Structure 1
Amino acid sequence: MSDKIQELLGKDADSLLGHSCRTITKEQLHLPGPDFVDRIFGPSDRTPRVLANLQRIFDTGRLGGTGYVSILPVDQGIEHTASSSFAPNPDYFDSENIVKLAIEGGCNAVASTFGVLASVARKYAHKIPFVVKINHNELLTYPNKYDQIMFGTVQQAYDMGAAAIGATIYFGSPESNRQIIEVSEAFAEAHELGMGTILWCYLRNPAFKTDKADYHTAADVTSQANHLGATIQSDIVKQKLPDCNGGFNEIKFAKTHKLVYDKLTTDHPIDLCRYQVANQYMGRIGLINSGGASSGSTDLAEAVTTAVINKRAGGLGLISGRKAFQRPLKDGVEILNAIQDVYLDESITIA
């Protein structure tokens, strides 16, 4: 194993690299591999054109042919305002530099807005798979509200040569029912046109945050969001890495079972992440975890740690943006490559 990976894991190296999962076993999972599209999506109702676009994503970049994915997402210009996203590195106000970073960083795909990808589609759509993010939470309304609204059509994404579309649902929010309907219809149309689908399965409800913990990232609640994402035929689900558990019990809503906490999960981060994978049809729908916000000097260690947890849990890869684009190109590429090195390292195995 790379000494650099062990060094970046620091005091958590032994716990993360030596952990053996005794909750849901690796034999129960449908694991990533070079034949993932054939093995998992081949028997499904996905059309040959969807399979071709998914295979194109899996075959691109430094992780091409491994069954793992590294995606650069840069839709933060809307979700977090362009100022807060790009002021740390103004180069990325220029949409072309976003795509260049994904290519230079060896990513499988670049996920961004209609505006970003359309502005350079003729130059780059055939060079790296595009994932067009079709809805966003605009934060210019005052006071702020938290809703996902459509910014364009599936047809537009198809016309610019996208390999897949992406969308967000804020599960738990008052608007979630409408979002589920809108995104389900969009995903059905995308599959009809031959594109893949990626769902950002995020939670939004002030009641999910209590004095005890912020259960927006609880393993049990996020896993149910992932299950709903798989239900509406996401091909890949994006979710935040779980850092707590027991949200259903603490908030006292919905339904759960004591075996979730007694047998199917522990407090170990790999076991918590594995429960997310399990809720996606035991890995038939791949889990990619988000890289999270940029923390500065600790970004590289945080990204590698998240990648190790995701890989050892049975996940499909990482989707990391701000840690990469809020710094000079060379440093951003270094972070993306460090993430990919985890998935390329055969000594880091499924727990």
Structure 2
Amino acid sequence: MSSKIEQILGDSASYLLNHTSKTIDKSLIHVPTPSLIDNLWIDSDRNIQTLNSFQSLLGHGRLANTGYLSILPIDQGIEHTAGASFAPNPMYFDSENIVKLAIEGGCNAVASTFGVLGSVARKYAHKIPFVVKINHNELLSYPTTYDQVLFGTVKEAWNMGAVAVGATIYFGSEESRRQLVDIAKAFEYAHELGMVTILWCYLRNPAFTKDGVDYSAAADMTGQANHLGVTIKADIIKQKLPTNNGGFTAIKFSKTDPKMYSELTTDHPIDLCRYQVANGYMGRIGLINSGGESHGASDLKEAIYTAVVNKRAGGMGLICGRKAFQKPMKEGIELLNSIQDVYLDKSITIA
């Protein structure tokens, strides 16, 4: 075990690193391996070019050929306004620096907007895999609404040399069914062109907060969002790390089984994340958890915490943006490398 990882985790080290999961047995989980394409994807209906694109994602950066992914996502210029996102480090107003951070940080891929990646595609598309985020929630509509709309076409992403497209569905929102149809169609075409599909499976609905508790990252509800995502043939699922459980029972909607809470999960973060993994066909569709917003000095510990939980739950990696780019580039690179070290450490295994 890396002493550095233990030192960063501090009081949480033993809690996470020594945990034995007694919920969904680890033998049922498809753990990422260097032969992921041959073991899991070769029998799927994905065409040869899609498998080739998937392998290019898996074969790049410091985690190359481990089965794990470290992706730098910077679409916050749209999702959170450019000013709010880049004020801590204005150099990232320049799209080239976004791609440079991903390369210098040893990432498998860089995920960003049509504009960011298109502006430097000829220089960089052959140097690091591009993931084009094809829909966004823009923040100039007033009053603020939460709806993901397409900003371009799958063919446009393909033309700039991208190996994958990413999209968000706000499950639970008024517009979620339209988004579901839009993205299902987009993913179908992406697969025809030989591109990998990544779905941000986020929950958005004010009613998901009950008695002051926000259940938009509850394990039971995010797990179901993941299951909807893999149903429209997402190849990779992006999800927030669970912060609690019991959203369905607290809000009193949908359908549940008592075993969801008594046998399939506990309150341990690794077991909650394991439930998310299980909803992706027991890990056949890899789960990458998001790094979350930047909190300054605690960023490194939070990122390592999330990476350890994801890996020990059976996940596929981390997609970390704000914690990396809202600080000087050298510090951002160090943070990304530290996350990757968790997945390179063979002593950190599935719980």
Q: Are residues 143 and 212 of structure 1, via their aligned partners in 2, closer, same or farther at CA, if it must alter by over 3 Å?
A: closer
Aligned positions of 1:1-351 closer than 5 A: 1-351=1-351
Tell me the CA shift for residue 212 of structure 1. 4.5
* Structure 1 stretches of 4+ moved >6 Å: none
Q: Deviations over 1:295-325 (max 9, x none)?
A: 0000000000000000000000000000000
CA distance in 1, matches of 2:52, 2:343: 23
> What secondary structure sits across from 1:32 in the alignment?
coil
Tell me the CA shift for residue 108 of structure 1. 0.2
Return the TM-score normalized by structure 2.
0.99
Deviates more, 1:160-169 or 1:6-15: 6-15
CA distance in 2, matches of 1:234, 1:117: 21
Unpaired runs of 5+ residues, structure 1, are none
Return the TM-score normalized by structure 1.
0.99
Q: CA RMSD in A?
A: 0.5
> What secondary structure sits across from 2:168 in the alignment?
strand
> What secondary structure sits across from 1:132 in the alignment?
strand
Q: Deviations over 1:239-283 (max 9, x none)?
A: 000010000000011111100001000000000000000000000
Deviates more, 1:37-46 or 1:298-307: 37-46
Q: Deviations over 1:6-34 (max 9, x none)?
A: 01111111110000011001100111000
CA distance in 1, matches of 2:209, 2:72: 29
CA distance in 2, matches of 1:102, 1:211: 41
Letter in 1 for 2:190: A
Q: How many residues align?
A: 351
Letter in 2 for 1:181: V
CA distance in 2, matches of 1:49, 1:314: 27
Q: Deviations over 1:60-109 (max 9, x none)?
A: 00000100000000000000000000010000000000000000000000
CA distance in 1, matches of 2:295, 2:203: 22
CA distance in 2, matches of 1:36, 1:225: 24
Q: Deviations over 1:42-68 (max 9, x none)?
A: 100000000000000000000001000
Letter in 2 for 1:330: K
> What secondary structure sits across from 1:23 in the alignment?
coil
> What secondary structure sits across from 2:237 in the alignment?
strand
Q: Deviations over 1:115-140 (max 9, x none)?
A: 00000000000000000000000011
Tell me the CA shift for residue 3 of structure 1. 1.2
Letter in 2 for 1:92: Y
Q: Identity of paired residues, percent?
A: 69
Tell me the CA shift for residue 211 of structure 1. 2.0
Unpaired runs of 5+ residues, structure 2, are none
